[in-house]
Amino acid sequence: MAPIIEVRQLSKEYRLGHAVNRTTTARELMMSAITAPFKRGKQAKKEAPAFFWALKDINFDVEAGQIVGIIGANGAGKSTLLKILSRITDPTEGSVTLRGRMASLLEVGTGFHPELTGRENIFLNGAVLGMRNAEIKEKFDEIVAFAEIEKFLDTPVKHYSSGMSVRLGFAVAAHLQPEILIVDEVLAVGDMSFQKKCIGKMSEVSKSGRTVLFVSHNMAAVENLCERGIMLKNGTLVFDGDVKSAVANYLANSNRAGEGEGHEVDLSQAPTRKSQFTSIIQKVELFTDDGEPAPRAIQVGARFTLRIHLKLPHEVPTFTCGVGFNSMFGQRVLTLNTSYDPNLNYDPVSGETVLVCDIPSLPLVPGEYFIFLFIDFGHDRKDAIPESFMLSVLEGDYYGTGKNPFSGVFVVPHHWNLEPVAEPSPEGVLG
């Protein structure tokens, strides 16, 4: 049987500076048409648009029923690949052959209209995703139950909390019945319990024999759901094979965060900052024992001091700042939080402030960790940078045995004793 997806020499070229294009007006176009003949070589060359290949010569096949994870750093071309596969944009060269009905889910709730009710949006969103009216009607109750919005069915979506609309969006999408499903990062939304539900639904979909292409940064989810991994780097396919090797390859190559090796991490322009936030967290400095600068690497069990530089936009009476340590698999292993320290007292602060967090002995086993930083004013999140930088916890003789601790997540001081069992007395056990 022919493969269900066939990708051949697929390439996509983008013109740099679409931001400029965005404001192209007919006048500029006419002006350039008039002035172009008068421009001589040098100037014309300078203005020649720059092109770059977002994807270059990608080839792969997917057999029906396969679950393929597509991984790669930001800008590797994953989104471009998904956009071409889902027909949102045309390739510049090459072709894709799809031998089955395809649905793509690059965003949850595409086409939701805030003025329409939940009920109305289910129908609209379903139709946008390619479901037929009869199909939506048939699945309607299931969708509502999955999204847990029974009570708000006839409320306009603009009054929904963001969690509710995400749930509704995913619920509609999860009930699509395509032969090929293309999913982008949608699991990265919603609260933990809902994420679990989504992952459950995804693996259910995959077990039903459908073909799934899944893009994610969450390596644990990729490893869990997929059997095969395709890794992209700078627009080319660099690995295609079983998912374990693909993930290992990715982790080895990963330099998502913390490029450069200094002990200072400039976060004023952090690319991973969530887009809705402005930069409050400016910079982090890392130190280890004796105030020695730690260039993003620290030995297991050593002292770890973070100096977090903040720039507060106004006077803030109460705030909460936190540091999360995420494993390479996206699992939170440790959270440090100002609210966990009963002795932290401060007057209302404003302007530039440095917050110092001191861990006398870092209890994480050697490995790589992504550091998540956030700050809340009162109960409102004001800045959050997932993967602000990568911290390497280096091997070390934590237990003083000459061996490296290697297993588990934590190292903690602990002791072992052999307790001799008392000899039974001749009078008997009860004696």
Partner 1 sequence: MQSNYELIIGPRKGWQPLDFREVFLQRELLGFLVWRDIKIRYRQTLLGGAWALIQPLMAMFVFTFFLHRLAGVKGDPQVPYAVFAFAGLSAWTFFANSLSQSSNSLLASQQMVKKVYFPRIFIPLGTVGAMLLDLFLSLGLLAILMLYYHVHVTTHALLLPVFILGTLLSAAGLGMTLSALNVSFRDVKYVVPFVIQMGIFVTPVIYPLRIVPQKYTLLMGLNPMAGMVIGFRYALLGSPASWRVMGVSLVTSVVLFVSGLYIFRRMERRFADVI
Q: Which residues of this protein are in contact with partner 1, per CB under 8 A?
A: 1, 4, 14, 18, 21-27, 29, 64-65, 83-102, 104, 106-107, 110-111, 113, 115-116, 120, 123-124, 127-130, 132-133, 179, 209-210
Least Cβ distance, residue 21 to partner 1 (angstroms): 6
In this complex, which beta carbon is closest to partner 1, that of residue 116 or of residue 312?
Answer: 116
In this complex, which beta carbon is closest to partner 1, that of residue 9 or of residue 35?
Answer: 9
Burial 289-324 (b: 16+ CB within 10 A, else e): eeeeebebbbbbbbbbbbbbbbbbeeebeebbbbbb
Least Cβ distance, residue 122 to partner 1 (angstroms): 11
In this complex, which beta carbon is closest to partner 1, that of residue 65 or of residue 367?
Answer: 65
Gap between the Cα atoms of 229 and 71, Å rounded: 7
- Residue type present at position 44: A
Residue 134 burial (CB count, 10 A): 8
Number of residues that this document lists for the chain = 431
Residue 130 burial (CB count, 10 A): 14
Least Cβ distance, residue 239 to partner 1 (angstroms): 24
In this complex, which beta carbon is closest to partner 1, that of residue 182 or of residue 321?
Answer: 182
In this complex, which beta carbon is closest to partner 1, that of residue 103 or of residue 321?
Answer: 103
Q: Kind and range of the H or E element at 141?
A: helix 133-147
Contact 388, 373 (CB under 8 A): yes
Three-state DSSP at 363 gives coil
Nearest of 271, 273, 225 to residue 247 by alpha carbon: 225
In this complex, which beta carbon is closest to partner 1, that of residue 21 or of residue 335?
Answer: 21
Least Cβ distance, residue 208 to partner 1 (angstroms): 9
Least Cβ distance, residue 1 to partner 1 (angstroms): 7
Least Cβ distance, residue 95 to partner 1 (angstroms): 4
Residue with tokens 């009054």, as numbered in its chain: 159
